[in-house]
Amino acid sequence: MNRRSSGLARRWRIIALPTVAFLFLGWAWAFASPVGSAADESFHLTSIWCAWGDSDSCVISDIPGVVSVPDRVANASCMAQLGNDSAACVYSLTMDLVETNEVNRGEIKYPPIYYGIMRAFVGPDVSTSVLMMRFVNVAIAAALIAFALVVARPVARRAMTLALMVCMVPTGIFFIASVNPSAWAITGGMLFWAFLYTLLSEPTIRTRRAIAAGVGAAACAILALSARGDSAIVLSASAVAVILLAWPRLRGRVRLLWLSLLAIPFIAIAAVFNVGRYASLGLVFPPGNPDMDQPNSVVKMLVELPTFLAGILGGQVSVWAQRSSSNDSQIPGFSWPGYSFGVGSLDVQNPEISSLLVLACVGGVVFLGLRSHGLRKIVALGLLSATLVGELLVMRGLVAFQPIQSLQPRYYFALVVVIVSVAAIAFPRRPSLVNRGQAALLVVVLVVADTAALMATVARYTYGQAHSWTGLVDAPNWWWSSGPSHVITIAIGVLASAAWLVGMARIAVHAGSGAPRGDRAPRALASDHA
């Protein structure tokens, strides 16, 4: 066995633990919430059930955009935004067909590919079908993460690994383990940059690594765009940032330069899908709310931006969906927990200990990463950050900067992971951004954060949020009719989280050890500290 093959085999052995652990972690989160728990899940389930047209479980009405599906599908989100209630309402749902207009038909809202593929897993039992779809989404994410860890250059591997460690729970793993197009959008969007950077950093596109990286980048792009059209924004910004980071290798290489310009079609796709989607939502500059928009709407948004970014990573304080007397009276269940930036249907209160620890870890990784800086890295981070802020400004402007609960953190999660990844890039010839002690500290802190987030999610649906998330020994008001108990599910999730974090920490510390000579950071990049 030659040196390159030996290095590849070693990387496969190293990633075995985190890959298997991620599957069990996703499995636990798939069981942590009921059918219909994720944001807009009734809409997505109905769209899946009707993706192939008329059937025994979906009757297409003569009225455009109206279909009939089982009650357990159409009204699966009966507990949504009722934070004090458990998910026991699902027991009253039947398999009788009921009419609904909550379906991806009649106008462009989401690309149809995700729904068409998920339709293959629809069976006679709704719960079993949904769990199968969730497991498939987790398996796709695990496979692509494993592939990226094997293929990516060490400089990208280390950065990606640290970003996934600190950002994944709760938002990322919840939606990956859900029946929501965001599962594919998050997976593809957060990994695309690592494959593309590896591809553009190779001496030629004919190497095995370059071919594998090209396949990975294409898979991520197709996956993300098949689920959400606005994924093109993440892909486009990531592509431009990667071109900046890899520019020394692109100069004078016309073929790779032209390949890098494939970002342009992504931008076009983003424009088409987002214009259509916003138009279908009817977001057309309504009059503003002087009481909430003073003194200046743009300034107000920028001041509140850190809170929203914290919400993406598990923080809870909602500033763009503020409660008012009208909201309290019109939206039952929001009077006590209020609008949340949590997972579920914006109704899961992530414990403060979890969100604070996650934010501290993210801040620590970004701080360590910014010690290794250069012009191209700074410009790339500026571009990605400007994309995030610009997209938020557009969305807020479309509703005249009024509080809107439709502006959900999951829309921007993949882009935030990319930003953290680029911030964590360290080109100087250091073996790792973090040492063993720092990696061990990250593991311990994140296991505590992940455990609290999982327990709180399970508690919200089994008892309701009035029940303490630390007291889960009482008989649950809701749980699956078969399978492990909620306590066993939490135990499996905690053990899987610990194993996944340990495995990822090992990669973050030793990503470049034993790698072939061609894996080392390019001299031009190293000298620029980019």
One DSSP character per residue, 266-306 reads HHHHHHHHHHHHHHHHT-------HHHH-S-HHHHHHHHHH
- pLDDT tens-digit readout, 151-189: 999 999 999 999 999 999 999 999 999 999 999 999 999
User: Tell me, what's the pLDDT at 247?
Assistant: 80
User: Tell me, what's the pLDDT at 335?
Assistant: 31
Q: Residue 307 pLDDT more than 80?
A: no
Average of per-residue pLDDT values in the chain: 82
Can you say whether the dihedral through the CA atoms of 318, 322, 323, 326 is positive or negative? negative
More confident residue, 311 or 274: 311
If we measure between CA atoms, which residue out of 490, 511, 527 comes closest to residue 165?
511
Mean pLDDT of 68-82: 93
User: Residue 275 in contact with residue 233, Cβ under 8 Å?
Assistant: no
Interatomic CA distance for residues 332 and 330, integer angstroms: 6
Phi and psi angles of residue 68, each rounded to the nearest 5 degrees, phi first: -120, 125
User: Residue 160 in contact with residue 421, Cβ under 8 Å?
Assistant: yes
SS3 content of the chain, % helix, strand, coil (to 5): 65, 0, 35
Interatomic CA distance for residues 39 and 343, integer angstroms: 8
SS3 state of residue 174: helix
- How sure is the predictor about 338, in pLDDT bands with cuts at 50, 70 and 90? very low
- How sure is the predictor about 224, in pLDDT bands with cuts at 50, 70 and 90? very high
Interatomic CA distance for residues 206 and 71, integer angstroms: 53
Can you give the length of the chain in residues? 530
Tokens of 342: 């949590």
Is 0.85 surpassed by the pTM of this model?
yes
Interatomic CA distance for residues 324 and 328, integer angstroms: 6
User: Residue 202 in contact with residue 213, Cβ under 8 Å?
Assistant: yes
- How sure is the predictor about 14, in pLDDT bands with cuts at 50, 70 and 90? confident
Q: Which residues contact 295 (CB under 8 A, 6 or more apart)?
A: none
Q: What is the torsion angle, in degrees rounded to the nearest 10, for the CA atoms of residue 393, residue 395, residue 398 and residue 403?
A: -90
DSSP state of 530: -
Cross-strand partners of 55:
58
Q: From the DSSP assignment, how many helices (H) and strands (E) are in the chain?
A: 22, 3
SS3 state of residue 323: coil
Query: What are the Cα distances from residue 503, in Å, to 16, 431, 496, 511?
Result: 8, 17, 10, 11
Cross-strand partners of 70:
97
Cross-strand partners of 67:
60, 100
Q: Residue 376 pLDDT more than 80?
A: yes
Interatomic CA distance for residues 226 and 97, integer angstroms: 29
Mean pLDDT of 456-485: 89
Mean pLDDT of 356-380: 91
Q: Residue 330 pLDDT more than 60?
A: no
One DSSP character per residue, 383-441 reads HHHHHHHHHHHHHHHHTTT---TT--GGGGHHHHHHHHHHHT---SS-S-SS-HHHHHH
User: Tell me, what's the pLDDT at 38?
Assistant: 92
